[in-house]
Amino acid sequence: MSLNHLFLGKFKIYGLRDGFFYLDGGAMFGVVPKVLWQKKYPVDKENRIKLGLNSLLIDTGRSLVLIETGAGVDLKQKMVEYYSLERKQGLIYALGNVGVGVDDIDYVINTHLHFDHCGGNTVKKESGEFVPVYSQAKYIIQKVEWKTALNPSARDKPSYLPQYFRPLKENGLLQLEEGISEVTKGVEVIPVSGHTAGHQCVKIYAEDQVIFFLGDLIPTSAHINLPYIMSYDLYPIETLKNKDIYLKQAVEEEWIIALNHDPDYFFGRVAMKNDNYNFIPL
């Protein structure tokens, strides 16, 4: 069993899951040949790998911060089938299990606006209108990401579904950031480009411990090796550079890292072994 919560001083940090989905293994590992990546990751008969839709809930003692909202409940049936979305109870149920209701959340952070990170931002009413789920929260997004999502390229248009983010602005809940910003005491967003231009990571300072939520910089524990980079990344050289910067820091400063799409692990540490970065699960 992997660890799904950390209690550090006043901070309580929970790994919660909206469900699982499947993506093409080749696309997930980019230029790395299958003979290498399949040693680390099982593959189904359609050459797909299983991924988690992982969120983090941070209770700082003063505020409740939710990082990522999963794929949500309103994905079109065609997409549910295409991604074999396994979603039994979902994120709102998982929040309820730790005693948190949607109206209790003060801040929602989306690392970026692809549907598998922000699909639970909104919900469809009977009228067909989409409204924010976390109605008392500010939604924290980088301005660069917001602009990209409104005018996506043909390449990432299928991943940006406006019903999951446009209503945030219409309802006055959108908080756009330009650069590093402290969301609340002990929780900071940091732009880390590569997957998209406006992608951000989240740094949490709890007692003397840093917990670093990587977003799609390193989606699973199998992506800890530097060249293991998704084909989905728009700026892979940026990803490579940023992986090295943050993994080096994670080793030196003994950070805990948190994973966005790992189907087994929420938390781990990083160690150097034979000149390679290695993931050590918590």
Residues of the shown chain interacting with Zn ion in the complex, contacts defined by CB under 5 A: 116, 216
Q: Work out how close the CB of 263 gets to Zn ion at its nearest, in angstroms, rounded to a whole number.
A: 13
CA distances from 29 to 38, 193, 208, 265 (A): 10, 18, 34, 18
Give how far the C-alpha of residue 95 lies from the chain's centroid of Cα atoms, to the nearest Å.
16
Question: 3-state SS string over 168-228?
Answer: HHHCCCEEEECCCEEEECCEEEEECCCCCCCCEEEEEEECCEEEEECHHHCCCHHHCCCCC
User: 53 Cβ partners below 8 Å, 6+ apart?
Assistant: 17, 18, 19, 20, 21, 68, 70, 71, 87, 91, 116, 261
Q: Compute the distance between CA of residue 218 and CA of residue 164 in angstroms, rounded to an integer.
A: 23
Q: Compute the distance between CA of residue 207 and CA of residue 31 in angstroms, rounded to an integer.
A: 40
Tell me how many degrees the CA angle 249-251-253 measures, rounded to the nearest 5.
Answer: 65
Of residues 59 and 262, the one with the C-beta less far from Zn ion = 262
Of residues 60 and 260, the one with the C-beta less far from Zn ion = 260
Q: Work out how close the CB of 47 gets to Zn ion at its nearest, in angstroms, rounded to a whole number.
A: 19
User: 7 Cβ partners below 8 Å, 6+ apart?
Assistant: 13
Q: Work out how close the CB of 33 gets to Zn ion at its nearest, in angstroms, rounded to a whole number.
A: 23
Q: Work out how close the CB of 165 gets to Zn ion at its nearest, in angstroms, rounded to a whole number.
A: 15
Of residues 59 and 216, the one with the C-beta less far from Zn ion = 216
Q: Work out how close the CB of 116 gets to Zn ion at its nearest, in angstroms, rounded to a whole number.
A: 5
Of residues 27 and 98, the one with the C-beta less far from Zn ion = 27
Tell me how many degrees the CA angle 134-137-142 measures, rounded to the nearest 5.
Answer: 110
Q: Compute the distance between CA of residue 111 and CA of residue 197 in angstroms, rounded to an integer.
A: 11
Q: Work out how close the CB of 218 gets to Zn ion at its nearest, in angstroms, rounded to a whole number.
A: 11
Give how far the C-alpha of residue 121 lies from the chain's centroid of Cα atoms, to the nearest Å.
13
Of residues 51 and 65, the one with the C-beta less far from Zn ion = 51
| Cβ pair 36, 64 in contact under 8 A | no
Of residues 18 and 216, the one with the C-beta less far from Zn ion = 216
Q: Work out how close the CB of 51 gets to Zn ion at its nearest, in angstroms, rounded to a whole number.
A: 8
| Cβ pair 16, 95 in contact under 8 A | yes
Of residues 59 and 116, the one with the C-beta less far from Zn ion = 116
Of residues 197 and 251, the one with the C-beta less far from Zn ion = 197
